[in-house]
Structure 1
Amino acid sequence: MRWLQISITSPSEYVEPLTHLFNLHGEGSASVEHPGGYNPDEGETPNPNEWITIKGWLPFDETTDSRKTSIDVGIRLIRHFVDLPEIEEQEVSDEEWRNQKFEPIRIGKNLVVLPKSTDFNRKNSDVVITLEPGLAFGTGHHPTTRMCLEEIEKIIKPNDRVLDVGCGSGILSIAALALGAQHAIGIDIENDAVNASMRNVKDAGFLSQSTILSGSFPHDEVTGGDFDVVVANIAANVLMTLAETLVATVAENGIIITSGVLKTRINDVVSAFEVAGGEVRSTRQIEDWTTTLIARAR
């Protein structure tokens, strides 16, 4: 059988929606390829300003044209936000399609996001998070996901209780548990995200330490005031609406990690949390995206 390989390059913050688009309308899982020129064994990481290549595969059959059309529509929508190049196409063999490769992503000091079924030479210090490629957003390519993971690696202590609001793929909950947290509760309004999180925490071996909830936040099954770490990688407007509830949910000595906020909205978000009784500990930025650590005001 022959396949149509499609590929496009993109800034890192658009890798996840493009991967989702290719997985939704393609066959199998899309691959994500970083440019070379860095040595992870020396602590080097990919240049966040380098564009990344996303590849997908379509079967040559009666569905090919409709699949291409659906992908083109999605890319045209994304082009409202970024000037993407044209899709490149190449015919490949069945063997080439089966042997597609997925690259691990190194984040922070020891975290490694590893696509499922990928060969990987693991170091003793690596904390590996294995995910099925393409399941819900949150694979570690987007700056907000990356910054959340880096902060979680610094903050998590043994036996911490974690709340993950807008859990997506479950990557942040899995990272926290892999780093020693006792239990993580994830919640999301999207059924695809809830199902992806449940599969991923099970595959990671943390099903008994996880609770994945479907619905909006606040939620009846989430009690307030006792979470050591609360992470919310969601839109600025939603964070502002939930600020009071999030502050009430975190323990007295706990930390809220907020992300998903563009630098143009960070002052609005900070003001909302300060009014709600929060106190900003730090804010950092990659490209136009910010991540902020907030505690209860003393």
Structure 2
Amino acid sequence: MHWQEISVTTNEIMEEAVTNLFYEIGAAGVVIEDPNLINRYVQEDVWDAYEFPKEIMDAEHVIVKGYLPVDDKLPLILEQFNGALAALSGFFKDSYVSVQLSRLQEEDWANSWKEYYKPKKVSERIVVVPGWEEYNPEEGEIIVKLDPGMAFGTGNHPTTMICIKALEKYIEPGWRIADIGTGSGIIAISAAKLGAESVCAVDLDTLAVRVARLNVKRNMVEELVEVRQGNLLQGIDKTFNIIVANIIADVIIEMSEYAYERLEPSGIFIASGIIEDRQDEVINKLQEEGFKLVEVMTDNAWRGIVVTKG
């Protein structure tokens, strides 16, 4: 399979907005080269400086790369992306945007970013470790072995960390969990390792389903986690104690009614992938459906909303 790499060089202030734009067009993977973040990790001894090319360490701008399959839909998606990116630039003072396109084979992309992906503690207990890395856990730590492939969800993105932190905070042993928009399967696997009785992991993208199944097998939780292809909660007749959706605001609004129906009494809905500007809109819709607000979790401009079934 061939992939279209879209590389956007931009200011730090536009990084999250551009990243979110990639998710909205259905990008099958996003890579962010942020020199400030990399240098911070180097200073915190998370990564070693020698692992990074000097041109990345010294770069003036952030580079956000998204990946789309090369098919007959690609020209229209690229046209829509360029239009949305131009409109987005108008919202930011002194914005800078430069776009480059290139074609990659899947195996080229899958290997190129591995040197930048290191073990990371994403919550109080969960440590995400690449499948090719060794890691000795400290007492109480839970390891999730992960190879994201082309699917979104390395654990480093703020929206993913918000979901895992919320899940760790609220899950009870023996609960049934749904992970909608599972991506690489990281949230579903975390739920299983945190004591879930069963986890239903759903994604519309066939590649994400394939990658998630491989990661479930790698973490030896096949008996607990079922990965299926599907559109949100459609076709699911089970009820859950917790539903997690790490998607975008519009989709969370769309699925809020069905999430309410598929939750047990006093069940919890964890919704993430929400930009700060859409927070109130999402909360209002959830409350209209009967949910009660528990808390709003924040990570820079990203929001995670935790509600309970009233």
Do they fold alike, i.e. is TM over 0.5?
Answer: yes
Is 1:269 the counterpart of 2:282? The answer is yes
Q: Which moved further from structure 2: 117-126 or 278-287?
A: 117-126
Q: Which structure 2 residue ranges, 5 or more long, are not aligned?
A: 1-6, 32-36, 47-59, 66-77, 89-94, 101-111
RMSD: 3.6
The aligned counterpart of 2:29 is 20
The aligned counterpart of 1:115 is 130
Q: Displacement of 1:231 after TM fit? A: 0.2
1:126 corresponds to which of 110, 134, 141: 141
Q: Displacement of 1:218 after TM fit? A: 2.9
- What does the per-residue CA deviation read over 1:174-203, in whole Å, with 9 as the maximum and x for residues that have no partner? 011111111100111111111111111111
Q: CA separation in 1, counterparts of 2:193 and 2:10?
A: 32
Structure 1 runs of 4+ with >4 Å offset: 8-19, 51-56, 76-87
The aligned counterpart of 1:260 is 273
Q: Secondary structure at the match of 1:172?
A: helix
Report if the CA contact (8 A) 2:148-2:211 is conserved: no
The aligned counterpart of 1:37 is 43
Q: CA separation in 1, counterparts of 2:61 and 2:254?
A: 34
Report if the CA contact (8 A) 1:35-1:52 is conserved: no
Report if the CA contact (8 A) 1:19-1:134 is conserved: no
- Number of residue pairs matched? 246
Q: Displacement of 1:153 after TM fit? A: 1.2
Q: CA separation in 1, counterparts of 2:128 and 2:43?
A: 19
Structure in which a larger fraction of residues adopt helix:
2
Q: Cα–Cα, structure 1 residues 52 and 167, in superposed 2: closer, same or farther, change >3 Å?
A: farther
Q: Cα–Cα, structure 1 residues 161 and 104, in superposed 2: closer, same or farther, change >3 Å?
A: same
Report if the CA contact (8 A) 1:236-1:261 is conserved: yes
Amino acid in structure 1 at the alignment position of 2:172: K
The aligned counterpart of 1:162 is 177
Q: Secondary structure at the match of 1:241?
A: helix
The aligned counterpart of 1:223 is 237
Q: Displacement of 1:248 after TM fit? A: 1.2
Q: Displacement of 1:55 after TM fit? A: 12
Q: Cα–Cα, structure 1 residues 278 and 101, in superposed 2: closer, same or farther, change >3 Å?
A: closer
Amino-acid identity (%)? 25
Q: Cα–Cα, structure 1 residues 141 and 258, in superposed 2: closer, same or farther, change >3 Å?
A: same
Q: CA separation in 1, counterparts of 2:116 and 2:300?
A: 28
The aligned counterpart of 2:91 is none
Q: CA separation in 2, counterparts of 1:168 and 1:52?
A: 28
Is 1:103 the counterpart of 2:113? The answer is no
Q: Which structure 1 residue ranges, 5 or more long, are not aligned?
A: 1-5, 23-31, 41-50, 57-72, 88-96
TM-score by length of 1: 0.70
Q: Displacement of 1:37 after TM fit? A: 2.7
Q: Which moved further from structure 2: 76-85 or 112-121?
A: 76-85
Q: CA separation in 2, counterparts of 1:100 and 1:215?
A: 33
TM-score by length of 2: 0.68
Is 1:234 the counterpart of 2:240? The answer is no
2:228 corresponds to which of 188, 206, 213: 213
Amino acid in structure 2 at the alignment position of 1:159: G
Q: Cα–Cα, structure 1 residues 144 and 212, in superposed 2: closer, same or farther, change >3 Å?
A: same
Q: Displacement of 1:156 after TM fit? A: 1.6
- What does the per-residue CA deviation read over 1:258-280, in whole Å, with 9 as the maximum and x for residues that have no partner? 01111111111111111111111
Q: Cα–Cα, structure 1 residues 53 and 103, in superposed 2: closer, same or farther, change >3 Å?
A: farther
The aligned counterpart of 1:172 is 187
Q: Secondary structure at the match of 1:159?
A: coil
Report if the CA contact (8 A) 2:180-2:243 is conserved: yes
Q: Cα–Cα, structure 1 residues 132 and 171, in superposed 2: closer, same or farther, change >3 Å?
A: same
Amino acid in structure 2 at the alignment position of 1:219: Q
Report if the CA contact (8 A) 1:19-1:54 is conserved: no
Q: Cα–Cα, structure 1 residues 273 and 20, in superposed 2: closer, same or farther, change >3 Å?
A: closer
Report if the CA contact (8 A) 2:149-2:211 is conserved: no
The aligned counterpart of 1:142 is 157
Q: Cα–Cα, structure 1 residues 159 and 144, in superposed 2: closer, same or farther, change >3 Å?
A: same
- What does the per-residue CA deviation read over 1:103-127, in whole Å, with 9 as the maximum and x for residues that have no partner? 1111121211111111223213211
The aligned counterpart of 1:204 is 219
The aligned counterpart of 1:296 is 309
Q: CA separation in 1, counterparts of 2:300 and 2:211?
A: 28
Q: Secondary structure at the match of 1:218?
A: coil
